[in-house]
Amino acid sequence: MAGNGIRIEGLRKRYGRGDAAVDALRGVDMEVAAGEVVGLIGPSGSGKSTLLKCLGAVVEPSGGRIALGDEVIYDNGWKPPDLRTLRRDRIGFVFQAPYLIPFLDVADNVALLPMLAGRQNGDARKRAHELLDALDVGHRAKARPSQLSGGEQQRVAIARALANQPPVILADEPTAPLDSERALAVVRILNRMARQFSTAIVVVTHDEKIIPTFKRLYHIRDGRTVEERGEGREL
């Protein structure tokens, strides 16, 4: 796969051992191109979170292969020497709750990660303001997270996930607490950001409001994925 994007082959994850073992992933294949937003759906307990955690280098798989762009990061063992750096620089996370830091203003919430990654403070703040403007929350840059609406907070969380320009964003139920209009706005933004920054985005969701928007979906059942064509409804 040229450039960025995600390729997963035969990924397996077994929790526990012996009688208590649970095979959460039994050979998952998945591909997400740079600039693409793909939905990951499936019933409770089917392995969605486990797949996202393996992809995010939070949980160690039991076998298979994961490549980000041209770099194999897992092949029956992690390849990068430092997984924290991998997570910080290559992967953005968006969760159901925004998890913003309450005592930092909105701009600093976004600028923090690039600063931790060694960017000059001025550069990091400039980047934060650009992203906040792109997400239409630039006018709230000086506010505290608690002063923002739920939808605004989620847009700030997306800006934070994009702050280090990661090639991959993993979003776990990012629209669950939002009403229909705001949920669709978040998906519209994720699609725009994917195209603009060539980011590969995986969205785990149960949200019927947004499922029709995906052009491509992976349905996970009993630890195996099936690729499906989505409706790709206009946003």
Ligand X SMILES: Nc1ncnc2c1ncn2[C@@H]1O[C@H](COP(=O)(O)OP(=O)(O)OP(=O)(O)O)[C@@H](O)[C@H]1O
The contact set with ligand X (CB under 6 A) reads 15-16, 22, 24, 42, 44-50
For residue 15, the minimal CB distance to ligand X (Å) is: 3
- Please state the φ and ψ torsions of residue 133, each to the nearest 5 degrees: -65, -45
Q: How far is the CB of 126 from ligand X (least distance, A)?
A: 37
- The residue among 13 and 90 lying less far from ligand X, judged by its C-beta, is 13
Nearer to ligand X, 16 or 212 (CB): 16
Residue 94 CA to residue 99 CA, distance in Å, equals 9
Question: Residue 134 CB, nearest distance to ligand X (Å)?
Answer: 30
Query: Which is closer to ligand X, CB of 138 or CB of 177?
Result: 177
Nearer to ligand X, 33 or 176 (CB): 176
CA atoms of 110 and 78, how far apart (whole Å): 29
Min CB(61)–ligand X separation in Å: 12
**Cβ atoms of 64 and 28 closer than 8 Å:** yes
Q: Which sign does the torsion angle of CA 32, 94, 218, 192 carry? A: negative
Rounded alpha-carbon distances, angstroms, from residue 153 to 54, 100, 132, 175, 201: 26, 8, 11, 12, 19
Minimum CB–partner distance for residue 132 and ligand X (Å):
30
Structure tokens of 42? Answer: 């499936």
* Pick 46 or 191: Cβ nearer ligand X: 46
